[in-house]
Amino acid sequence: MKTDITQALVDEHRLILRMITLLERNAPRTAAGDYTNWQFYLDGVDFIRNYADRFHHAKEEDVLFTALVNNGMPRENSPVAAMLMEHDQGRTYVLGMETAVRETLDGLPGRENVIAENALAYAALLRDHIAKEDDILYPLAERLIPETMREGILKGYGLAEVQATTGFSEQYRNLIATYEQE
Ligand SMILES: [Fe+2]
Ligand SMILES: [Fe+2]
């Protein structure tokens, strides 16, 4: 039995998917003028930047994907390259969403559609992205990466954990649970 190197990432996907579900629920209501809790979007941006990007994507980009490349997967024109491009595309949508929310808070009218479009584009991209990682890339990594490298990978994940503040995941779990009850 090999040391597992992907279950922790699959678990993180579950929390990210809960935020995606919230975006899918709230964005159409914002476009229709029925949901104006802008703080939800700012909290969503904060969660995506710090948890999905800095915490989860750092483990992928700096540790797991690097290990895949070190085990023969090309860096260009490969599944890893596609995943990295999607991370970047996601950052663009999140910035678009944040900018439109801040413009709204500054009093600019009619930005609701831009908020909703970016939120839904992010949600669709990430839902598809996560499915590809869970179903294809992670199982591939479990087959490809030799046991001798696995302790090092877990140590690499630990580094991302150490850089996060105490109660980091718990705090975001609570935040998402609060919005789920809205
Ligand atoms: Fe990813
Ligand atoms: Fe991921």
Q: Residue 52's pLDDT is what?
A: 94
Q: Residue 112's pLDDT is what?
A: 98
Residues, CB-to-ion distance under 5 Å, ligand 2: 133
What separation in Å is there between the alpha carbon of 101 and the centre of ligand 1? 25
Q: Residue 76's pLDDT is what?
A: 92
Q: What is the DSSP string of 98-130?
A: HHHHHHHHTT-SS-HHHHHHHHHHHHHHHHHHH
Q: Residue 1's pLDDT is what?
A: 78
Asked if 122 contacts 130 with a C-beta cutoff of 8 angstroms, the reply is no
Going by C-alpha positions, the residue among 169, 178, 118 that lies closest to residue 16 is 169
What separation in Å is there between the alpha carbon of 32 and the centre of ligand 2? 31
Return the half-sphere exposure (C-beta side, CA atoms, 13 A cut-off) of residue 46.
13
pTM of the model: 0.95
Q: Residue 147's pLDDT is what?
A: 96
What separation in Å is there between the alpha carbon of 129 and the centre of ligand 1? 6
Which mean pLDDT values do the consecutive 10-residue runs of the chain (182 residues) have?
94 98 98 97 97 93 96 93 96 98 97 98 98 97 96 93 81 97 95
Asked if 53 contacts 84 with a C-beta cutoff of 8 angstroms, the reply is no
> What is the CATH number that goes with domain 7-180?
1.20.120.520
Q: Residue 165's pLDDT is what?
A: 74
What separation in Å is there between the alpha carbon of 138 and the centre of ligand 2? 9
Q: Which ligand is nearest to the CA of 6?
A: 2
Q: How far apart are CA 143 and CA 141, in angstroms?
A: 5
